[in-house]
């Protein structure tokens, strides 16, 4: 497995930690009965059972999980080879196995521990088809029931299984009479899945329905088969990404396997087009693949026969069965969703390529392998939902990038907090969401520290109730320290954390953080002033009035004359005196929105006063929530601090409240263009993926 050898050193990532925690400390039955940590699909075999078995056998070793994934993929390749050999001969089998082994659709399942869901489902589905080919109906039915319990992308395997069961000249009624158990097995799974998902969390179905879903799924399959993924600033296959030593080794193996050592290759056109006589009566679905109509059952297609129309029909049905489920999630498609369909594509390609001279077929297989490499080498992934995105939403680059960052963040957290007390809540900031270290209430940190009492959240999720359950630690990056640091005992740490929450528009969280800041450091004037405005923002006017008087501020408006005087000073280019006037007027007119608005406009232009200016902008927009200009000003503050989604929401509020003003605002289109470029799916966001 040259192409996937790097998977052996890959760490756990994202959903892996959720599934590990779900089975940790439980028996198999308890793991199966426990609620699914995601609640979006019914996959007890691919999640609970698999993670329980491998984690208990290995002590939660990431290397063991990845070894198991590689083993599953090798088994899947072998099963496809055996099935293709059974229905179409050894030449077709060699080609199909080679194409399937090189597909980029296998990258994510092999590299990601929880990719075992895909690999296990495909392996069991291939085993079911092989059992059907040998007419082992009971075994095939059992496998058809359990395969989609690993992942539902193989739920329609009964369709190609029925075609394998059909005999030459047989009516569909007779086929269904003999092989009725195949669709029945799928029905059993569907009922079980429906019952299980009826109790899932509302909105957690995981589906992303789109009217373009079926067509987009077909397009995704074609692109996956041909390696058609490309960077947002380039064209397909450009720039050319030259294979490394591992890919070249894989291509050499394929060349030798198909071009030199594959047995049973047709030598003459007559042999390629004329089925060989059956070797004897056998049971099985292969009876439909080239046997005489008067034979009750047929032998496997003889070497030299690259398949018959019945085999082609089965391969096409297989591809359809593997592609249709992807239509339900087309806006978030990824190549690995189509792994089962790609096995059918590999068989179909083998049926056609085996009709060509050996050298020509080998060149085509190697070309498909190089195309797959071009797709997997793209240093981007789709960052926004879209059926027609240039890249998969999750690909090898996505995982490798996320795994590197995840390992770095975990190492920095361990360095910042070497030992952690039981029942500690860790509040994190300054880590990218895509590294998936912070998910839920902290399964990653519970796994890292092996302490089930720990909790972790983003800093903006702070709630005072966290203080009641145990110690709370603030771990985030600082301006002078780019690495994660424990700021819990630093003066002003809580108020700075609250400042970030305000910029995100999480006023209640900021209010709680400022309350804690004043408990830790009662003399923090920045926190006390901010606490006044968060109290006003959450609607607690009585507390806001009390806090204003505590700071010698009069909770009233009416500073029109002072504002006019300050504007006159500005007209005279005396911004210093204007600022002095406004700061003094805050004492007498603390609730005057125009005063705070002008103060914000002035202070945001002064180096060293921007934080104060941001608080003034916040005060102006909570005092006058129906003032469109106040929302525009607050959007600007959010934008320069990199809160792009929050800034877009504030701009939308500005446009709703002041449509005429917004329509004449020359800066608005530029701001919106900048923000759209920086959010997921935007040009700047995509370009950032290509940055070293």
Whole-number percent of the chain with pLDDT over 90: 67
Residues 272 and 153 reside in one and the same domain: yes
> Tens of pLDDT along 637-647?
999 999 999 99
* Mean of pLDDT values over 532-557: 94
Residues 447 and 494 reside in one and the same domain: yes
> Tens of pLDDT along 480-496?
667 899 998 888 889 88
Model confidence at 1, pLDDT cuts 50, 70, 90, reads: low
Residues 228, 223: Cα–Cα separation, whole Å: 5
Greatest distance between any 2 Cα atoms in the chain? 106
Residues 350 and 448 reside in one and the same domain: no
Structure-block tokens of residue 22: 């779900």
Residues 604 and 518 reside in one and the same domain: no
Residues 418, 439: Cα–Cα separation, whole Å: 21
Identify whether the C-beta of residue 596 lies closer than 8 Å to the C-beta of residue 619.
Answer: yes
Identify whether the C-beta of residue 31 lies closer than 8 Å to the C-beta of residue 23.
Answer: yes
Residues 540 and 569 reside in one and the same domain: no
Domain count of the fold of the chain:
3
* 224-230-236-241 Cα dihedral, nearest 10 degrees: -100
- Domain end call among 376, 398, 429: 376
Residues 546 and 573 reside in one and the same domain: no
- Domain end call among 527, 550, 573: 550
When mean pLDDT is compared across 154-168, 330-344, 472-486, 658-672, the lowest value belongs to 472-486
Residue 387 falls inside a structural domain: no
Residue 403 falls inside a structural domain: no
Residue 392 falls inside a structural domain: no
Residue 407 falls inside a structural domain: no
Residues 453 and 359 reside in one and the same domain: no
Residue 546 falls inside a structural domain: yes
* Mean of pLDDT values over 420-435: 92
Residues 138 and 215 reside in one and the same domain: yes
Q: Can you give the pLDDT at residue 309?
A: 64
Which residue, among 447, 439, 436, 425, has the nearest Cα to 23 in the 3D structure?
447
Whole-number percent of the chain with pLDDT over 70: 91
Q: Can you give the pLDDT at residue 202?
A: 42
**R_g of the chain, CA atoms, integer Å:** 32
CA of 369: how far to CAs of 99, 247, 254, 532, 649, in Å? 7, 9, 9, 64, 45
Residues 645, 498: Cα–Cα separation, whole Å: 18
The neighbour count for residue 433, using CB atoms within 10 Å, is 10
Q: 658: which residues sit within 8 A by CB, 6+ positions away?
A: 628, 629, 632
Residues 476, 429: Cα–Cα separation, whole Å: 5
Q: Can you give the pLDDT at residue 621?
A: 94
Residues 231 and 314 reside in one and the same domain: yes
Residue 398 falls inside a structural domain: no
Residues 568 and 545 reside in one and the same domain: no
Residue 483 falls inside a structural domain: yes
Which residue, among 443, 381, 476, 458, has the nearest Cα to 14 in the 3D structure?
443
Give the CATH number of the domain where residue 460 resides.
1.25.40
> Tens of pLDDT along 189-206?
999 998 887 765 544 556
> Tens of pLDDT along 109-136?
999 999 999 999 999 999 999 999 999 9
Residues 335 and 465 reside in one and the same domain: no
Which residue, among 362, 333, 334, 338, has the nearest Cα to 349 in the 3D structure?
362
Give the CATH number of the domain where residue 577 resides.
1.25.40.10
- Domain end call among 515, 550, 585: 550
Residues 266 and 354 reside in one and the same domain: yes
Domain ranges, residue 647: 564-689
Q: What sections of 198-327 are H helices per DSSP?
A: 213-226, 245-256, 269-273, 309-323
* Mean of pLDDT values over 5-19: 92
Q: Can you give the pLDDT at residue 465?
A: 87
Residue 388 falls inside a structural domain: no
Identify whether the C-beta of residue 400 lies closer than 8 Å to the C-beta of residue 113.
Answer: no
């Amino acid at each position: 497995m040259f192409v996937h050898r790097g998977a052996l050193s890959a760490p756990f990532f994202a959903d892996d930690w959720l599934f590990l925690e779900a089975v940790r400390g439980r028996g198999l039955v308890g793991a199966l009965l426990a609620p699914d940590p995601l609640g979006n699909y019914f996959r007890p075999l691919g999640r609970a059972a698999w993670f329980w078995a491998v984690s208990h056998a290995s002590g939660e070793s990431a290397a063991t999980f990845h070894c198991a994934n590689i083993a599953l993929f090798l088994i899947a390749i072998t099963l496809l080879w055996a099935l293709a050999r059974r229905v179409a001969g050894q030449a077709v089998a060699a080609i199909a196995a080679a194409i399937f082994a090189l597909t980029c659709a296998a990258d994510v399942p092999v590299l990601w521990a929880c990719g075992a869901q895909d690999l296990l489902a495909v392996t069991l589905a291939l085993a079911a088809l092989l059992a059907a080919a040998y007419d082992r109906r009971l075994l095939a039915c059992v496998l058809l029931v359990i395969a989609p319990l690993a992942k539902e992308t193989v739920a329609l395997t009964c369709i190609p299984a029925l075609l394998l069961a059909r005999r030459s000249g047989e009516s569909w009624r007779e086929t269904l009479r003999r092989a009725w158990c195949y669709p029945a097995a799928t029905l059993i799974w569907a009922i079980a899945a429906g019952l299980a998902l009826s109790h899932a969390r509302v909105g957690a179905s995981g589906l992303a329905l789109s009217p373009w879903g079926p067509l987009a799924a077909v397009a995704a399959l074609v692109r996956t088969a041909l390696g058609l993924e490309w960077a947002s600033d380039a064209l397909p296959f450009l720039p050319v990404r030259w294979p490394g030593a591992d890919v070249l080794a894989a291509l050499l193996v394929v060349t030798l396997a198909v071009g030199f050592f594959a047995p049973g290759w047709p030598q003459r056109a007559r042999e390629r087009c004329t089925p060989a006589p059956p070797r004897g009566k056998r049971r099985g679905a292969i009876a439909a693949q080239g046997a005489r109509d008067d034979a009750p059952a047929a032998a496997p297609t003889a070497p030299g026969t690259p398949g018959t129309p019945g085999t082609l029909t089965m391969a096409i049905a297989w591809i359809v069965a593997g592609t249709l489920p992807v239509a339900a999630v087309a806006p978030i498609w990824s190549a690995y969703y189509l792994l089962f369909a790609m096995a059918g594509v590999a068989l179909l390609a083998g049926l056609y390529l085996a009709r060509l001279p050996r050298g020509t077929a080998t060149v085509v297989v190697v070309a498909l392998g190089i195309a797959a490499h071009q797709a997997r080498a793209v240093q981007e992934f789709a960052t926004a939902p879209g059926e027609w995105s240039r890249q998969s939403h999750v690909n090898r680059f996505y995982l490798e990038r996320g795994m590197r960052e995840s390992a770095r963040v975990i190492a920095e957290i361990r360095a910042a907090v070497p030992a952690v007390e039981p029942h500690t809540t860790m509040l994190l900031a300054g880590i990218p969401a895509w590294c998936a270290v912070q998910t839920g209430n902290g399964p990653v940190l519970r796994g890292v520290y092996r302490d089930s009492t720990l909790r972790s959240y983003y800093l903006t999720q702070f709630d005072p109730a966290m203080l009641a359950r145990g110690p709370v630690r603030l771990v985030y990056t600082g301006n002078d320290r780019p690495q994660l640091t424990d700021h819990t005992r630093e003066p002003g740490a809580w108020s700075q954390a609250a400042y970030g929450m305000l910029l995100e528009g999480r006023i209640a969280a900021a209010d709680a953080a400022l309350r804690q800041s004043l408990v830790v450091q009662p003399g923090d004037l920045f926190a006390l002033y901010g606490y006044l405005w968060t109290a006003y923002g959450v609607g607690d006017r009585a507390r806001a009035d009390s806090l204003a008087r505590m700071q010698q501020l009069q909770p009233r408006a009416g500073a029109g004359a002072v504002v006019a005087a300050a504007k006159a000073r500005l007209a005279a280019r005396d911004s210093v005196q204007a600022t002095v006037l406004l700061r003094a007027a805050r004492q007498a007119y603390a609730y005057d929105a125009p005063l705070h608005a002008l103060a914000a406009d002035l202070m945001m232009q002064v180096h060293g006063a921007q934080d104060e200016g941001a608080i003034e902008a916040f005060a102006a927009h909570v005092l006058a929530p129906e003032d469109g200009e106040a929302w525009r000003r607050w959007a600007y503050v959010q934008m320069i601090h990199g809160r792009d989604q929050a800034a877009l929401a504030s701009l939308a509020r500005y446009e709703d409240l002041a449509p005429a003003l917004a329509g004449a605002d020359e800066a608005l289109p530029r701001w919106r263009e900048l923000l759209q470029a920086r959010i997921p799916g935007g040009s700047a966001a995509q370009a950032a993926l290509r940055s070293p």
